[in-house]
């Protein structure tokens, strides 16, 4: 039965489009099998740690998080526990769960190999001073001496132009006075469109009331105005979220390039 399972997994991988990625997934499946049949919990933990690493190499951070959740952390030795925390941090970072990744950082960890990931996690959480310090520390310890000065200059330039974070609360508050909220999120043209829509709805309401059509003016015009405001409100939230996500992704991509972690 076990041989049949292994052969089935192997055949599925062979006929897949991405052989390299699926080769890693095959290895992860075999590690899962070894963990399942392990006689000792410590052996199962070791297999699951390796499986999580393989899943991260296959760019499957959410699957890696799920694997790490099945590890009995209280049975890990000191070295395994450091590996476990690092894998957790990397899995959360890959899943864009920035706050959970931040909680995995151990400030007492002196292993320089973790500094690059810590710098990225700090930057993702907009803690740029901490991120810059960790990035410089990593460059000092990981880069050859003839590359350090250039990398340091790149770091200084990058953090000098760190991304601007747009507060969703401020944007939403200003969205009731278009185009201010949309302009804050970088969508001035859409803001003027919202202003025209809301002004037209308000004008229709006033016109109907002046004409004596109170029901049409109050009910119909009121509904149109409410819909225009709600649409403006939701769009401002979306624009702000997209702008923050885009700016953060661009910054992290540049930082990854400098630190050569990808």
152-177 residue pLDDT tens: 999 999 999 998 887 767 766 666 66
Q: What is the DSSP letter of 110?
A: -
Same domain, 128 and 96: no
What is the enclosing helix (H) or strand (E) of 217?
Answer: none
**Domain end: 104, 133, 150, which one?**
104
Contact 122, 134 (CB under 8 A): yes
What is the chain's length? 262
Domain presence at residue 262 = no
Same domain, 3 and 99: yes
Question: What's the domain count of the chain?
Answer: 3
Domain presence at residue 216 = yes
Domain presence at residue 245 = yes
Locate tokens 């769960």: which residue?
97
pLDDT of residue 22: 64
Contact 178, 195 (CB under 8 A): yes
- Residue 213: which domain range? 168-251
On the CB side of 241, how many CA atoms lie within 13 Å of its CA? 6
The count of other CB atoms within 10 Å of the CB of residue 236 is 29
Q: Which residues of the chain fall below pLDDT 70? A: 1-22, 110, 168, 171-205, 207-209, 211-230, 261-262
């Amino acid at each position: 039965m076990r041989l049949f399972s292994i052969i089935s997994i192997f055949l599925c991988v062979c006929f897949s489009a991405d052989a390299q990625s699926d080769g890693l997934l095959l290895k992860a499946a075999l590690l899962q099998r070894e963990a399942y049949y392990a006689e000792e919990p410590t052996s199962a933990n070791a297999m699951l740690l390796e499986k999580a690493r393989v899943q991260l190499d296959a760019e499957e951070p959410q699957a890696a998080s799920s694997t790490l959740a099945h590890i009995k952390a209280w049975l890990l030795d000191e070295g395994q526990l450091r590996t476990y925390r690092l894998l957790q941090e990397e899995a959360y970072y890959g899943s864009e769960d920035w706050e959970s990744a931040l909680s995995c950082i151990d400030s007492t960890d002196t292993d320089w190999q973790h500094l690059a990931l810590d710098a990225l996690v700090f930057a993702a959480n907009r803690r740029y001073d901490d991120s810059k310090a960790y990035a410089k520390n990593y460059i000092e310890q990981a880069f050859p001496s003839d590359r350090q000065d250039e990398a340091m200059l790149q770091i200084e330039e990058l953090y000098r132009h760190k991304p601007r974070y747009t507060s969703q609360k401020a944007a939403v508050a200003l969205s009731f006075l278009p185009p201010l909220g949309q302009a804050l999120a970088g969508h001035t043209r859409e803001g003027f469109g919202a202003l025209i829509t809301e002004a037209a709805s308000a004008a229709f309401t006033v016109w109907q009331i002046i004409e004596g059509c109170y029901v049409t003016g109050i009910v119909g015009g009121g509904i149109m105005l409410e819909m225009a405001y709600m649409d403006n409100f939701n769009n401002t939230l979306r624009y702000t979220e997209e702008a923050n996500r885009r700016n953060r992704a661009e910054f992290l991509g540049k930082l990854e390039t400098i630190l050569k972690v990808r």
